[in-house]
Amino acid sequence: MESIVNSVKSIALDVGQYLTPVLRESKFKETGVLNPEEFVIAGDYLIHHCPTWSWGQLDPLKAKPYLPINKQFLITRNVPCFSRCVDMEYDSSQEKILKSKEWNDEGDFTNVEDDEGWVDTHHYILDASQKPASMFEIPQMGSSESKQSDEPEDDGGPPVDMDAFVAEGGLEENDPYRFVEEERNQTEGDTDNVLHTRTYDLHITYDKYYQVPRLWLCGYDEDNKPLTVDKMSADFSQDHINKTITMESHPYFRTAMASIHPCRHAEVMKRLIEQLADSGKELSVDQYLLIFLKFVQAVIPTIEYDYTRSIQL
């Protein structure tokens, strides 16, 4: 039922975008929205500081007239997703609300004063750089004393004649310390501990109706085959599925893709601008997409796209 409602909303928004006039003047500081020119400025800034992003290639016939032909939308490909969001156990100590916050020196939201807003349910979880480098457990070594006790004592005899040792077939005996190659079928059959890494292509388009950026996602499995809607849902915050994130028709390719709904983007940005102004700081429009990518990660916490540049305010 929710999918039907979302489809109807998508059609209505398409009509709304068609009828909505293009925003010409800047209302960024007043309302947190962008006009097309500011979207391009913010896109160029994102590409400069996060080179994995680029302007997407597009048939000129599909270009929107209010944007440059070569700067219609942003794209980053093969973004890793190492774990499933549904497998991450919920922990209230990892939760953070991203709406009514102030901006600290590291570029994070702090000083929560109410329980309203965009909830990041995995804000404090370890990132990939803090996780163990290997997914296989390293067997623990015994103490030095036990190791020494297991080793045969030197009987003080003459050194071994290696030529005689080889000639007598000493190398053919079962040495407990020798390397033994595992049977291939056993190794290949044990796949339960193998980490299957998914990848995502991310697009950022300009939404003319809401006058803000909009994020789109297309997922692939470890064999580079497109993920179904149900499988992609495992990589999204379960608090946001079919609410903040829905399946919509891509404005350029007309294929169904997961999209983070933009209805609250301007509100979040406006709050941030006001709070920075109260502290004597100013947010420039070119930094918009870096901040945008920070707060939408609450919806897709395991998709590790590039937004890592420190924001200086």
* Residue 179 placed within a domain: no
Which pLDDT score, from 0 to 100, does residue 240 have?
Answer: 86
Asked if 263 is an active-site residue, the reply is yes
Domain that holds residue 119: 2-127+195-298
**Mean of per-residue pLDDT scores for the chain:** 76
Which of 50, 85, 218, 263 is an active site residue? 263
What pLDDT does 87 receive?
A: 77
**Could you tell me which residue, 129 or 283, shows the higher pLDDT?**
283
Would 266 be classed as within a structural domain?
yes
Domain-embedded: residue 161: no
Helix (H) or strand (E) holding 14: helix 2-19
Task: Assess contact for 73 and 207: CB atoms under 8 A.
Answer: no
Number of domains in the chain: 1
Place of tokens 């000083």: 111
Instruction: Tell me the per-residue pLDDT of 265-290, one tens digit each, with 9 for 90 and over.
Output: 999 999 999 998 899 998 999 999 99
Evaluate whether residue 172 is within a structural domain. Answer: no
Average pLDDT value for residue range 69-97:
82
Residue 33 CB neighbour total at 10 angstroms: 21
Position 14 scores a pLDDT of 62
Buried b / exposed e along 196-235 (16+ C-beta atoms within 10 A): eebbbbbbbbbbbbbbbbbbbbbbbeeeeeebeeeebbbb
| Rounded mean pLDDT, 123-130 | 50
- Is residue 291 predicted with pLDDT exceeding 60? yes
pLDDT of residue 252: 96
Phi, psi torsion values for 171, nearest 5 degrees = -70, -15
The per-residue pLDDT for 160 is: 52
Contact criterion met (CB below 8 Å) for 103 and 111: no
| Residue at 177 is within a domain | no
Region of 119 on the Ramachandran plot (φ > 0 left; ψ -120 to 50 alpha; else beta)? beta
Residue 220: inside a domain: yes
Q: What is the pLDDT of residue 100?
A: 47
The DSSP letter of residue 298 is: G
Q: Which residue has the tokens 């407990």?
A: 176
Whether 190 maps to a domain, the answer reads no
Residue 20 contacts by C-beta under 8 Å, 6 or more apart in sequence?
208, 209
pLDDT tens digits, 24-71: 999 999 999 999 999 999 999 999 999 999 999 999 999 999 999 999
Among 71, 3, 4, 75, smallest CA distance to 37 is for 71
Q: Answer whether residue 166 shows pLDDT above 70.
A: no
Q: What is the pLDDT of residue 23?
A: 94
* Predicted confidence (pLDDT) per residue in 209-248, tens digit: 999 999 999 999 999 999 999 999 999 998 888 888 999 9
Confirm whether 157 is domain-assigned. no
Cα angle, residue 235 at apex, residues 234 and 240 outer, rounded to 5°: 85
Among the ranges given (61-70, 76-85, 139-148, 254-263), the one the predictor scored with the smallest mean pLDDT: 139-148
What pLDDT does 139 receive? 41
- CB within 8 Å of 142: residues ≥ 6 apart: 150
Q: CA torsion sign, 111 to 311 to 273 to 67?
A: negative
14 or 234, greater pLDDT: 234
Q: Answer yes or no: is pLDDT of 182 > 90.
A: no
